[in-house]
C-alpha cells in the first residue's frame, strides 16, 4: 500500500510514531553523494544522542555504469535509542536515487517486507522509453510486494535551488530524513557547515538551502514521521570509522613511522594518517610495494621506535618473509591487516575474517608472533596502543586484525583522554656495558634488551640467520635451538599476563557462542535476543588470539555445546560430501579445537555484507533444536 502524497501543506507538528530504532539505507549511483548524505545523517543523529552504527555500501568499481544493479553506492544507518554495535538486519526505510540501485538491495534481500521506499520519480518521465519502462516495472513490483513506495520529485525540487541536481540531491534527501525522524534542523545545519568547512560560504549556504527544501517538502507532503528517544550525551564522544580510529591510535601510540602500499580496504587509514601524522612528528612512507613497506618499517624499528605497516590480505601475504625476519632478529613491529574477502584479489571491498590462521601461523619455520583483533570502533584505537606496547616489550611482531566491516563503519565512543603512558619511551642512546650481549635472553621470559645504533659499545650485526647470544651466526644445532626456545618463550611469558575473557550471560548453560573481531556486536545482540526467550545461551569474545589466555577451555567445558561464529569459510555438515573427517572448520574453529581439545562446532559465512544479528540468531536457534 502506498502512502498518498498530500498536495496540501500540513502543519509542522505532525504526530510522530514513537519507535526504538530504525535502519535507513540511502542508495545512489556512485558520485551522487549518497555516502555523504548517510554519513551526515549518522553524525547528526549521534550529535543528538542516538546510538548509531553506519555501514558503507560500496560498489567494486570507482565509476560503475550508471543505473546498475551492482553499482549501488551509499550508506546504511542504524539509529536507535540505545548504544548500537552493528548494522542490524533488514532496513526499515530506503531512499533510492534510481530504481536499479534499489533493485540491487531488493535482490540481496536487505529490505524489510513492507518497508518505506522513497524513490526519485524523474525516471518515470525519462526520454528513453526503456528507462521509463524499467522504472515503472520496479515501482509496480514494489507496490505489488507490499512495499510502502513513495515517489519523490527530488530532481524537480532541487532544480529550484541549484543548476546541477546531481550535486545537491543528497542534501535534499538529508532534509527529508531530518523531517521524517524529527531531527533538529539546526543540528543538520551545523553538520553541513562542518563537512563543507573548507568550501566557500556560498556552497555551505546552498547546501543548507537544499536541506531546508527537503525538510519542508517532507513536512508539506509526507505523512510519515517517527520519533526515537535520544539520550543526550553527558560526556564528549567521538564519531569516526574503524580506519580513522586505527590512524588515531597510531598517533596516540607514540609510533613515528608508518610504511604502507595502497590496498583496499586499508588505505583510508593511511590517507588520514598522511594528512595528520606530521603534526605529531610522524611520517607516512608510501613504499614501492608491500615487501618494501614492511622492510622499511623493520629498518625504522631497528634504528629507533617501533614502526607500523598497514595493509590488507594480498599485501599481508607479501610481507610474510619480512615478518619472519622481524621475529628472528627480534625487532618490534606492528602489522595491521584490515582484512577483505579473499583469497587473491577476492572481494576487495567486502568484509571477511579469513586471515586469522595465516596471521597466527604465517611466514615460515617457527615464527611465533602475537595476534590481536579489534572488535569495535573504539577497540581499533586502543588495540593499536596495546599492540605497540607488546611489540616493544617483547621485541616481536604484533599483528592487529581489523576488517572491511570495521574499516568503514562508524560508531560513537567516549572521547579518549590522552595519557603519556601510551607513548613509546624516548630512544635510548646511552653507552652500554662492554660485556653487553645483543641476545642476552632472560632464561625465564626469553626477553632481551634491545640496543640500537648510536649506543656506544653496543655494536653488533643483527641477522636473519640463526644466531648466538652475541648475534654471531649459529653454526651448530644447539645454538639455533636456544634461539628458537627463547623466541617461543616470549609468547608464554606474555600469555601469563593475559586475563581470561569474560562471558556475556551466565557462566554455564546450553550453548556458548565464541567469536573474535568485528562480529562481536552481531553475536552479542543475537545472544541477548535469545536469552530474552529464556534460553541459557552465552557468548565469549576473544581479543588476543595468539597466545590464547588461560581459562578458555574451562569456560567452554561449562556449556553443553560450543559454537564458533565468524565471517570466514566453514564447511557445512549439511553438505553431502562433508563429514567429520574432511570438514574444514572456520579459522577460530581450528584454533580452539587444537588448543582446547573441545569438540567445537562452527559456523562461518562469507558474504557481501557483515554478518547480521538475525543470521546469528537463526544459526543459534538451529543449534539449540
Partner 1 sequence: MTARATEILRRAGAEQHSLEDYAGCVPRWCTGCGDNAILAAVQKVCREEQLPLEKIVFVSGIGCSSRFPHYMGTYGFHGLHGRALPVAEGIKMRRPDLHVFVNTGDGDCCSIGAAHWVHATRYNMNMTVMMHDNNIYGLTKNQASPTSPMGTRSNTTPRGSVLEPFDPLQATLGFSNLSFVAQVPDWIPELLFQVIHEAHKHRGFSFIRILQRCPEFQANRWEPCMQDPASVRILTHENGVKLSPTLARAYKNNQEHDPSDLVEARRIVGTSEEIPVGIIYRNPDVPCYEDMRKPDRLYTPDHVKSGLEEELDKFTIWPRD
State which residue, 319 or 520, has the beta carbon closest to partner 1: 319
Nearest to 92 by CA among 19, 40, 29, 170: 19
Report the nearest approach of partner 1 to the CB of residue 270 (Å): 15
Which range touches partner 1 (CB under 8 A), out of 321-329, 396-404, 541-549, 599-607? 321-329
Among 23, 77, 95, 298, binds partner 1 (CB under 8 A): 298
Instruction: Among 58, 176, 177, 292, indicate the residue that binds partner 1 (CB under 8 A).
Output: 292
* CA gap 409, 423 in Å, rounded: 27
Report the Cα 135 to chain-centroid distance in Å. 35
Provide, rounded to whole angstroms, the least separation between the CB of residue 426 and partner 1.
9
Query: From the CB of 76, what's the least distance to partner 1, in Å?
Result: 20
Place of cell 551526515: 40
Among residues 63 and 457, whose Cβ is nearest to partner 1?
457
Nearest to 252 by CA among 102, 68, 378, 126: 378
Q: Which of 36, 67, 285, 350 binds partner 1 (CB under 8 A)?
A: 285
Task: State CA 144 to chain mean position distance.
Answer: 37
Q: How far apart are CA 266 and CA 404, in angstroms?
A: 8
Return the sign of the alpha-carbon dihedral for residues 524, 527, 529, 534. negative
**Of residues 447-466, which lie at the interface with partner 1 (CB under 8 A)?**
453-465
Could you tell me the smallest distance in angstroms from the CB atom of residue 300 to partner 1? 4
Q: Which is nearer to partner 1, 187 or 493 (CB)?
A: 187
Using an 8 Å Cβ cutoff, are 368 and 487 in contact? yes
CB of 591 to partner 1, least distance (A): 28
Select from 335, 292, 333 the least CA-distant residue to 312. 335
Helix, strand or coil, per DSSP, at residue 434 = coil
DSSP string covering 120-135 = E-GGGG-SSHHHHHHH
Of 297 and 489, nearer to partner 1 (C-beta) is 297
Does 291 interact with partner 1 (rule: CB under 8 A)? yes
Query: Residues binding partner 1: what is the number (CB under 8 A)?
Result: 72
Residue 473 DSSP label:
B
Cβ-based nearer residue to partner 1, 279 or 499: 279
Least separation in angstroms between CB 463 and partner 1? 4
Instruction: Quote the least distance from Cβ 516 to partner 1, whole Å.
Output: 26
Q: How far is CA 431 from CA 388, 435, 456, in A?
A: 25, 12, 4
Per-residue contact track with partner 1, 32 to 71, x per CB under 8 A? Answer: --------------xx------------------------
User: What's the closest the beta carbon of residue 21 comes to partner 1, in angstroms?
Assistant: 19
Q: In whole angstroms, how close is the CB of 581 to partner 1 at the nearest point?
A: 39
Smallest separation (angstroms) from partner 1 to the CB of 364: 12
- Which residues between 323 and 382 bind partner 1 (CB under 8 A)? 325, 329
Contact between 232 and partner 1 by CB under 8 A: the answer reads yes
Show contacts with partner 1 in window 236-255 (CB under 8 A). 236-240, 244, 248, 251-252, 254
Q: Which is nearer to partner 1, 249 or 341 (CB)?
A: 249
Among 18, 61, 223, 278, binds partner 1 (CB under 8 A): 278
Give the number of other CB atoms < 10 A from CB of residue 174: 27
Q: Does the protein bind partner 1 through residue 280 (CB under 8 A)?
A: yes
| Dist CA 381 CA 252 (whole Å) | 8
Assess contact for 309 and 335: CB atoms under 8 A: yes
- Of residues 500 through 559, those in contact with partner 1 by CB under 8 A are none
Segment lying near partner 1 (by CB under 8 A), choices 146-154, 228-236, 337-345, 599-607: 228-236
Among 17, 82, 125, 415, binds partner 1 (CB under 8 A): 415
User: Which residue's CB is nearer to partner 1, number 12 or number 459?
Assistant: 459
Q: How far is Cα 245 from Cα 248, in angstroms, rounded to an integer?
A: 5
Q: Strands 17-19 and 226-228: what pairing?
A: parallel
Q: How far apart are CA 527 and CA 152, in angstroms?
A: 39
Residues 470-499 that bind partner 1 (CB under 8 A): 472-473
In 3D space, the residue among 491, 513, 518 whose CA is nearest the CA of residue 337 turns out to be 518
Stretch that binds partner 1, among 76-84, 105-113, 273-281, 357-365 (CB under 8 A): 273-281
Q: Which residues have a Cβ under 8 Å from the Cβ of 537 and sit 6 or more positions away? A: 505, 509, 510, 511, 512, 513, 527, 530, 531, 620, 624
Q: Which three cell numbers mark 207? A: 547546501
Element spanning 408, H or E: helix 404-408
Binding to partner 1 by residue 198, rule CB under 8 A?
no
For residue 289, state whether it binds partner 1 (rule: CB under 8 A): yes
**Quick one: how far is CA 625 from the chain centroid?**
32
Cβ 31 to partner 1 shortest distance, Å: 25
Amino acid at each position: 500500500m502506498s502512502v498518498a502524497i498530500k498536495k496540501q501543506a500540513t502543519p509542522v507538528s505532525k504526530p510522530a510514531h514513537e519507535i526504538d530504532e530504525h535502519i535507513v539505507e540511502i542508495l545512489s549511483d556512485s558520485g551522487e553523494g549518497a555516502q555523504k548524505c548517510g554519513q551526515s545523517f549518522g553524525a547528526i543523529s549521534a550529535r543528538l544522542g542516538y546510538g548509531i552504527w553506519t555501514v558503507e555500501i560500496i560498489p567494486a568499481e570507482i565509476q560503475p555504469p550508471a543505473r546498475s544493479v551492482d553499482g549501488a553506492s551509499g550508506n546504511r544507518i542504524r539509529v536507535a535509542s540505545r548504544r548500537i554495535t552493528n548494522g542490524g538486519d533488514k532496513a526499515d526505510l530506503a531512499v533510492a536515487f534510481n530504481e536499479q540501485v534499489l533493485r540491487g538491495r531488493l535482490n540481496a534481500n536487505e529490505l524489510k517486507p513492507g518497508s518505506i521506499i522513497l524513490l526519485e520519480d524523474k525516471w518515470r518521465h525519462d526520454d528513453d522509453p526503456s528507462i521509463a519502462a524499467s522504472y515503472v516495472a520496479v515501482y509496480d513490483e514494489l507496490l505489488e510486494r507490499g512495499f510502502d513506495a513513495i515517489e519523490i520529485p527530488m530532481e524537480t525540487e532541487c532544480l529550484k535551488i541549484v543548476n546541477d541536481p546531481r550535486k545537491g540531491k543528497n542534501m535534499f534527501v538529508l532534509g527529508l530524513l531530518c523531517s521524517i525522524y524529527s531531527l533538529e534542523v539546526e543540528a543538520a545545519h551545523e553538520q553541513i557547515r562542518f563537512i563543507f568547512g573548507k568550501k566557500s560560504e556560498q556552497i555551505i549556504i546552498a547546501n543548507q538551502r537544499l536541506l531546508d527544501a527537503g525538510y519542508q517538502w517532507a513536512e508539506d507532503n509526507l505523512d510519515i514521521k517517527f520519533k526515537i528517544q535520544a539520550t543526550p550525551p553527558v560526556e564528549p564522544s567521538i564519531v569516526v570509522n574503524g580506519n580513522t580510529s586505527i590512524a588515531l591510535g597510531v598517533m596516540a601510540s607514540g609510533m613515528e613511522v608508518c610504511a604502507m602500499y595502497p590496498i583496499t580496504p586499508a588505505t583510508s587509514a593511511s590517507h588520514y594518517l598522511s594528512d595528520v601524522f606530521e603534526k605529531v612528528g610522524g611520517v607516512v612512507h608510501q613504499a614501492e610495494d608491500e615487501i618494501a613497506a614492511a622492510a622499511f618499517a623493520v629498518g625504522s624499528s631497528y634504528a629507533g621506535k617501533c614502526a607500523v605497516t598497514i595493509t590488507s590480505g594480498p599485501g599481508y601475504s607479501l610481507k610474510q618473509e619480512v615478518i619472519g625476519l622481524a621475529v628472528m632478529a627480534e625487532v618490534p613491529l606492528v602489522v595491521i591487516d584490515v582484512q577483505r574477502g579473499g583469497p587473491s584479489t577476492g572481494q576487495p571491498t567486502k568484509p571477511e575474517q579469513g586471515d586469522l590462521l595465516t596471521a597466527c601461523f604465517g611466514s615460515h619455520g617457527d615464527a611465533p608472533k602475537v595476534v590481536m583483533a579489534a572488535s569495535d570502533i573504539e577497540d581499533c584505537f586502543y588495540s593499536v596502543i596495546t599492540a605497540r606496547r607488546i611489540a616493544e616489550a617483547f621485541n616481536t611482531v604484533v599483528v592487529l586484525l581489523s576488517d572491511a566491516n570495521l574499516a568503514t563503519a562508524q560508531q560513537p565512543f567516549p572521547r579518549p583522554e590522552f595519557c603519556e603512558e601510551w607513548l613509546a619511551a624516548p630512544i635510548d642512546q646511552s653507552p652500554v656495558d662492554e660485556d653487553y650481549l645483543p641476545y642476552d635472553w632472560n632464561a625465564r621470559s626469553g626477553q632481551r634488551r634491545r640496543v640500537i645504533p648510536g649506543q656506544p659499545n653496543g655494536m653488533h650485526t643483527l641477522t636473519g640467520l640463526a644466531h648466538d647470544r652475541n648475534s654471531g651466526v649459529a653454526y651448530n644445532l644447539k645454538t639455533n635451538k636456544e634461539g628458537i626456545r627463547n623466541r617461543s618463550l616470549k609468547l608464554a611469558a606474555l600469555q601469563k599476563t593475559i586475563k581470561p575473557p569474560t562471558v556475556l550471560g551466565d557462566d554455564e548453560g546450553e550453548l556458548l557462542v565464541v567469536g573474535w573481531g568485528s562480529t562481536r556486536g552481531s553475536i552479542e545482540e543475537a545472544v541477548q535476543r535469545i536469552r530474552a526467550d529464556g534460553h541459557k545461551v552465552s557468548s565469549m569474545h576473544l581479543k588476543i588470539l595468539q597466545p590464547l589466555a588461560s581459562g578458555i577451555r574451562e569456560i567452554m567445558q561449562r556449556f553443553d555445546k560450543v559454537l564458533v561464529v565468524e565471517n570466514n569459510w566453514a564447511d557445512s555438515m549439511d553438505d553431502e560430501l562433508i563429514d567429520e573427517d574432511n570438514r574444514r572448520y572456520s579459522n577460530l574453529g581450528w584454533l580452539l579445537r587444537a588448543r582446547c581439545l573441545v569438540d567445537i562446532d562452527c559456523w562461518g559465512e562469507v558474504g557481501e555484507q557483515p554478518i547480521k544479528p538475525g543470521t546469528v540468531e537463526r544459526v543459534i536457534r538451529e543449534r539449540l533444536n
